[in-house]
Amino acid sequence: MSLSTIEKRLKKYKKFGAAKSDYLPGWLRKVLWGSIVVGLAVIVAGVAFIFYSVNQSKGVDLEVSSPTDVSRGVPFELDVNITNLSGTPVNNSSLTITLPSGLLLWGPSVNGSVYSESMGNVVAGNLYRKNYKVVAVGDLHSTQTLEVSFSYFNQTGSRFEVKQEVPVTITDSVIAMSVSKPDQILNGSSFSFNVDYANNSDFDFPSMILEADFPSSFQFDSSSIPPASLANTFALGPALANATGTIAIKGEFADSSVSSFTIPLKLYAVLNNQNYEVADYDATFSLSPSPIGISVSVNGSDSYIAKPVDTLNYSIQYLNQSGIALKDVVVKAVLSGFANWSDVKTDGVYHPSMRTVTWDSSTTPALGFVEPGAVGNLNLNLTTSLSAPTSLQGLSNKNLYVKADISLSSPSVPYYLSGNQTFAETVKETKIASLIYFNTKAYFRDPAGKITNTGSFPPVAGSPTEYTVHWQISDFGNDLSDVTVSAPLPPGVTFTGVSSNTVASSSIAYDTSTESVVWNIGDLFAGSGFLNGPIEGVFQIAATPDAGGVGSYENLLGASTLQATDNFTGGSVNISSDPVTTLLPDDPTVASGGGIVGQ
């Protein structure tokens, strides 16, 4: 287009007031108008979406209610009401309860601090009610805040959530605990105390556990409810509604440097397989100086661990530290546990039917008049008796010991003691190590038939022959842990990798660092190997004798060693069996002298 033509058109537009649109081509005008229409539609849709969404959110109401003050250990009601007032259904909704550490949602399917439940689609106009039970397990006078949230999707697929926090205060505990104890406890002498507890609610606690934090100078002797695996933990069983219970505990405290001591006690409720503290009590005991000192040693030791068959020599020493002369003193030992009760020897008088030994002035003239500061010694000895069980009842015996409950009494009473006699008591418990049978046997023709050995037998120099080794174990008395069996392989002998054993999850392998075959067993429970025969580990080895061994038996396996920890005594177990050669005395198919290496 020429410049003159453009000038003519401009004059024309100015003269006649042409519309601005005349400046644009038609196609461009259509695009602009289309964009304007689409933009207005998007704005209208956005405004409608926001208006609809706001109405949806405001249309779902969450109401949560519970008591503001609760008791520790007792379930309380948590009511949740959900109302859909939006006018349309809400979809894929869920309810979530988030709990602090001091609150527990009661229910067999609940585990952890967050509980979530699918609510599905909630119809418009409907009211949904949910009820839950919550147990307070936190500290007294603490405020615990739980959160309830309800999330859902509206008709457009957008997610919304409403939530509410609910604070509750733990004001008291429905479990009461107290201690009944003697007014006077003699330092170094045995005493008993009762732990009393009461469930003052209408709720049955399925299981209760008492934990006593005994100080180091306290020696636990016995209790009316046997302790669990730890001597300071006691399974009390259920605590029924509005019922009481008690446990008696006996022990002695020996520390002349203090005049009192405290035993912290805690009571736990077992809820959802977890222990939650519901009561605590600090029991403080006052001590009086003991008028009589009694000490007992066994085989010269204060902490002797007896063997399954062992002679125990008891040395009982008494010391009159009352400050006055004691007349007509009587010392009595009450014996219990696993021993040969027909073979008790003593310088006192033994009563087999009652298993007691008594010393008085008739057996020990010095007991007729014991001067202040006087020291005396009394003796008895017995033999532990632990043999393989022959019945299921015998198999159930576990954690075996011999106990001597020794007391001293006199009608002479120093001025600072009340009562009509001077009395002192101590208990000596001697634990017995587990009875363990361990054997190593080897075969060319394996009796089980599961492993077939190849090669020539009698063995021939330069030619490999396979053998099967059996490790057999039986354990009675105590549980064992960290149990391993190992044996070194001599030169010319290799582990083939073929093995089997009767202990689940255990394995037999070759350790290159020690050049030994090792069976890692792990834990072994008391009674293992007695009911259905010994537990057994079996493996195969291959031995190739050299020319220097011709005319003699070949070494197949070094000494086998069983190592473990005795869980009851805390002692180490170390048992060995003899090395194995081609003599094979346990293989009935091998004739005497048949294992000598030939050329």
Summarize pLDDT for 88-97 with one digit per residue, the tens.
888 888 899 9
Can you give 408-472 as a three-state secondary structure string? EEECCCCCCCCCCCEEEEEEEEEEECCEEEEEEEEECCCCCCCCCCCCCCCCECCCCEEEEEEEE
Separation of alpha carbons 22 and 28, rounded Å: 11
Mean pLDDT of 163-184: 90
pLDDT at 595: 93
DSSP conformation letters of 169-195: EEEEESEEEEEE--S-EETTSEEEEEE
What value does the mean pLDDT take over residues 469-481? 95
Could you tell me the pTM of the whole model?
0.64
95-99, 315-319, 455-459: which range is least confident on average? 95-99
Residues 27-55 as b/e (b if ≥16 CB within 10 A, e otherwise) read eeeeeeeeeeeeeeeeeeeeeeeeebeee
Instruction: Judge whether residue 45 has pLDDT over 70.
Output: no
Tokens of 244: 């009481």
Residue 288 parent element (H or E): strand 274-288
Q: Residue 537 above 70 pLDDT?
A: yes
Place of tokens 């009760």: 341
Q: How far is CA 492 from the centre of its chain?
A: 46
Which helix (H) or strand (E) segment holds residue 326: the answer is strand 326-327
Which of the given ranges, 28-42, 242-256, 258-272, 477-491, has the highest pLDDT on average? 477-491
Mean pLDDT, residues 470-483 taken together: 95
Q: What is the mean pLDDT of residues 363-376?
A: 96
Closest Cα partner for 436 from 397, 375, 387?
387
Residue with the two structure tokens 């546990």: 337
* pLDDT higher than 80, residue 136: yes
Quote the pLDDT of residue 247: 96
Pairing between β-strand 159-173 and β-strand 69-72 as defined by DSSP bridges: parallel
Q: Mean per-residue pLDDT for 495-520?
A: 96
**Which of the pair, 57 or 218, is modelled with greater confidence?**
218
Spatial CA neighbour of 433 closest among 303, 302, 308, 312 = 308
Q: Checking DSSP bridges between strand 345-346 and strand 401-410, what pairing results, if any?
A: unpaired
What local confidence, expressed as pLDDT, does residue 6 receive? 45
**Model pLDDT, residue 187:** 83
pLDDT of 14 over the 90 cut: no
CA separation for the pair 538, 503 (Å, rounded) = 11
Which pLDDT belongs to residue 5?
52
Q: Are 76 and 178 in contact (CB under 8 A)?
A: no
pLDDT for residue 196 is more than 90: yes
Position 101 pLDDT exceeds 70: yes
Scored b (16 or more CB within 10 A) or e, 163-187 reads eeebebebeebbbebebebeeebbb
- What mean pLDDT comes out for the span 297-319? 96
Mean residue pLDDT across the chain: 87
Distance from first CA to last CA of the chain, Å, rounded? 120
Per-residue pLDDT at 52? 46
- Please state the rounded mean pLDDT for residues 8-21: 48
